[in-house]
Structure 1
């Protein structure tokens, strides 16, 4: 297949054009941020926190952040992105894109084995994207139905995506870290969602699943047959289940765990922990993911089916207070349904400043008795800050006449209840992966009113004009017209507020200085940790 090195290539967003996709991309360690230490040390155990304890260990089925954090060391995808948002090979050794943007051909890495000894082949990739993901991920099914004509193989270790029409976000879709290649021999002919290997994953990554003791730990061991010779450096990775935030902070302070993600410790402890003499704090490693926290609203249920009531709720919430006092400055107030730094966000979008008087006026205009029904605010045990946010929301809404009951559940129960639409209000967040079509769209589209996950349209919002605009932005080439369509779309969503955007999340990662090569990609913490190593313990 001819390559076209000077053709404009697909991208994550207009600010980050993925250059040279017509040329086969080969692994190059120099593109990634290296360590100051010339010789990485082999050995040692890296201790992390599983917060919350994941509902599954197969993030191809359950796209929960805690699941991806663990299973990202076991399972691998075709590609990833470095911190400059340039695509980098993983299981795909290289790829070519045709000049018309309709054909993507991937060459797979040779001599890769699954952890059970079976060889990785093109059949695993074909099964993953022709069968597995269209079944378990309705987003993929929808995109593939609209844009993908076929996926086939013309030679061993080669897979070709044939598109019906150009789809710029394809590499973002494949490289988001959420769609690892699946072992065909373990999943074919099974109930994918109930497959036992979702709890004991078999992958191609540098670490092998060893043990999951519920409520205590998840242990991963070094893969002695990893396809990258000399890697990984670590002997094991252990994820400790520590439900209490202060206990997680104490474990980190004692160096019982060496890494804390944003949210692993209570936000009130971050400043103190960051100041410890042997600790490094960094915001790197989240370049691909723009985190957006929001109040998810079940728009089926009165009085939440009234847009004026939803607007009143957002006016009543002091989002500056939420960011600065509940999350201790680890974020910024959301400016709309799309991330403020996104080139697709309209900077002229009207804002919802904190205004209790305005909120009360909107309730009066709605003509709704907001206290006639008790509202259940479902809290998903994400940590102390989120619990305080739920209680704060209850207090703020009381002067408007709402009767709010906060219901707290474990992460797995929260996931299931929200997926089943069994909530009135709940706080949730997504990672906007470049183009909003890949993530935000599924919170709003009518065809995604599905009982699949909390990241579908569980609120039941349906607007034919919004559906039309989502379809148009997907079919429109980059340029002023697409920008205009996104502007129209964001204004409708901002006015009707089926979801109330609260704040854009920052993700400070804290780690002891004995840990090296931790933050090397745009989704670092959820990656495979093949290059991570530890200094030798002090004598």
Structure 2
């Protein structure tokens, strides 16, 4: 959609009036109003238990909930659980649920739904959750408001595994003994969150309305949320400037537009609200395919890319160059790892040592790069990588694809190179290990170890760090595993990403947790 088409859409909506644009609020009400925002690209499904792509998680954060949320410093806070306790031996966790929680179809949500979601649905369909909840010895529901988890052995970050993106709770009655991915209730997206799905017009918008049965008294304050599909970045910026939409998140706004939009008097900008995710961008190489199965090739790739120039030219100064698998924004980061400075001569020497000599046209090898379909920014990243690697004789052919196709091909290992960005979730045991441990090489599951990297010592260190109970021991183990991974160049780490969230100044309390725009928006209101 270009600027002219978007203007026509706004005009048509203004005359026909079926979809409200801008902020509306009934006079005299203490709550109410419509929030218009963007979702780009359009999610393939609205069930976060079955799909963990970024657009799905953003919308589904309003529809589904879990037991906990997390503050900006990642301290656990009540979600659907009003309290919790851990046994002295670190093996038993007991959660007490709030009373009166209902699904959007009116049925009660109980501890049985939690047990089913964690032990059945998520174990089948959620790569990251599987790694955590496979550690359970048992999960029990002694009464409708109590859940008891017993671990096989202590797992230090267990209390950080209950955000709505990792452990969304779905209805046992609707999903038990069904093919989860083919369940007809997927089209209804029935959760317990403050907003429920009213309508999804593919290619146009996702319309959420207040869940009147929400268990937190008085919440949510907003009546409705519209997530509008606006593929063109320029049109998104125009809509934000004009007040047609009141919120952009993640990479909705191009980095080069950020300074101009930040200066507008009607908008606020923050980079808060991404603490829980600490998004990490890397160039992933399928190590099942030569020459990417040779670590010298992967090391050459790292030397061939000027990552500081990438940060300045493509991300316009946002973010920080990544030095390894753990973000400097989260726990257990190790700065003293092997360094890959920008050095094309070193890259070419490594390629020569492998026997990858340049042909008459200067090309040593040709590889395909599957471009993530998340907007113009990622196309620019791909172009930058293509140009950088081309200078050392690595010919890159860019392949475009839609969101569902990208997920399917990456999950099924049908790629040579791509550039995913994944979340760290406050602890390496939750968000980092999954991308490198051999046990998580699982075909068909996106955001598992899709590169196929395997190292028994890495597996051992990650497991030991996950079950260690004191932070000093964990730091030692994670420091060791980071040094190995960086020496092996398991992937080519590019950026610790920062994203600007722009909001209309009349909308308050949108970003109130470390999950930011992926949180519920239950407290958001118009001032």
The answer to whether the superposition gives a TM-score over 0.5 is yes
Of the three residues 500, 505, 524, the one matched with 1:508 is 500
Q: Which residue of 2 aligns with 1:428?
A: 420
Q: 1:82 to 1:41 in 2, by over 3 A?
A: farther
C-alpha displacement at 1:433, in angstroms?
1.2
Distance change (3 Å), C-alpha of 1:40 and 1:301: farther
1:482 and 2:467 equivalent? Answer: no
Among residues 263, 267, 282, which one is paired with 2:251 in the alignment? 263
Cα offset, 1:153, TM superposition: 2.0
CA distance in 1, matches of 2:29, 2:474: 47
Give the counterpart of 2:449 among 452, 457, 460: 457
1:238 to 184, 201, 226: 226
Q: RMSD across aligned C-alpha pairs, in angstroms?
A: 1.7
Aligned to 1:468: 460
Report the Cα distance in structure 2 between the residues aligned to 1:259 and 1:81, rounded to whole angstroms: 22
SS in 2 for 1:126: helix
Give how far 1:280 is off: 0.5
User: What TM-score, normalized by structure 2, do the two folds share?
Assistant: 0.91
- TM-score w.r.t. the length of structure 1 is 0.89
- Distance (Å, rounded) in 1 between the aligned partners of 2:355 and 2:164: 45
What is the aligned partner in structure 2 of residue 157 from structure 1? Answer: 145
Q: Distance in 1 between matches of 2:180 and 2:414?
A: 24
Q: Rate the CA distance shift 1:253–1:41 in 2: closer, same or farther, 3 A.
A: farther
Distance across 2 between alignment mates of 1:492 and 1:63? 28
- Give the stretch that moved more between structures: 40-49 or 430-439: 40-49
SS state of the match for residue 393, structure 1?
Answer: helix
Distance in 2 between residues matched to 1:315 and 1:40, nearest whole Å: 60
CA distance in 2, matches of 1:420, 1:200: 27
User: Any idea what SS the aligned residue of 2:203 has?
Assistant: coil
Q: 2:511 aligns with which of 519, 524, 529?
A: 519
**Contact 2:248–2:502 (Cα < 8 Å) also in 1:** yes
> Corresponding residue for 2:323?
335
Residue 19 of structure 2 corresponds to which residue in structure 1?
A: none
* CA deviations over 1:405-463 (Å, ceiling 9, x no partner): 10111222111111111111111111111221111111111111112333111111111
CA spacing shift, 1:298–1:68, aligned 2, 3 Å = same
- Among candidates 38, 44, 59, match of residue 48 of structure 2: 59
Give the deviation of 1:353 after TM superposition: 1.2
Name the counterpart of 1:126: 115
User: Structure 2 vs 1, CA of residues 66 and 251 (structure 1 numbering), >3 Å: closer, same or farther?
Assistant: same
Does 1:74 find its partner at 2:66? Answer: no
Counterpart-to-counterpart distance in 2, 1:203 and 1:343: 31
1:176 deviates by 5.9
Pick aligned residue for 1:408 from 383, 389, 400: 400
Superposition pairs for residues 22-421 of structure 1, below 5 Å? 41-145=30-134, 147-175=135-163, 177-369=165-357, 371=363, 373-421=365-413
1:531 lines up with 2:515 in the alignment? no
Give yes or no for contact 2:47–2:186 (8 Å, CA) kept in 1: yes
CA distance in 1, matches of 2:446, 2:406: 9
